[in-house]
Copies of this chain bind each other. A is one copy, B any other.
Amino acid sequence: MKITHDFKKIMHDANLKCTAPRELVIALLYEKHLPLSAQDIFEQLKKKNTIDLATVYRTLASFEKAGLVKRIDLRTDTVLYELNTLHHHHIVCTHCGRVEDFDLCEVDRLMKKVASQSSHFNVVSEHTLEFFGVCTACTS
């Protein structure tokens, strides 16, 4: 099932107008299933479409505000975005940049511990967790 089937509903639920650029961006994020930078998205899309880099930035900003995408920091020079689907984290190869998803997250338990230990925080609502290593392809 392509994301575009749901596009109208998604936009409507997010109180955003259905526009060509928005559909292009969301479809690309869905297709690639990887954290992408605004530049990445722009480069990919402009091959076959008319789209402006500023529009990509504005689109990502409104998507983020609507909770449709999430900013990811993988120690790259620029911020990356990915669809805000199921909670997951990443393993990044520090050598070639390969990114793999990592679904297992046991941080919830840890978050409760954080809250109970801290004198200034009672509730910890979010966390970032990313792993870095060297992938098998780069090791051999």
**A91 close to B (CB within 8 Å):** yes
**A52 close to B (CB within 8 Å):** no
**A111 close to B (CB within 8 Å):** yes
Interface residues of A in 103-140 (CB under 8 A from B): 104, 106-107, 110-111, 113-115, 117-137, 139
> How many residues on A have C-beta within 8 angstroms of the other chain's C-beta atoms?
39
Q: Looking at the assembled complex, report how far the CB atom of A81 sits from the nearest CB atom of chain B, in whole angstroms.
A: 13
**A73 close to B (CB within 8 Å):** yes
Q: Looking at the assembled complex, report how far the CB atom of A2 sits from the nearest CB atom of chain B, in whole angstroms.
A: 27
A-B contact pairs, 25 of them (CB 8 A): A71-B75, A73-B128, A91-B120, A91-B121, A93-B120, A94-B125, A98-B120, A100-B118, A100-B120, A102-B114, A104-B113, A120-B135, A121-B136, A122-B136, A122-B139, A123-B133, A123-B139, A124-B131, A124-B132, A125-B134, A126-B133, A127-B129, A127-B130, A127-B132, A128-B132
Other contacts beyond A91-B114, A104-B117, A122-B133: 7, CB < 8 A: A93-B120, A100-B120, A104-B113, A123-B139, A127-B130, A128-B132, A129-B129
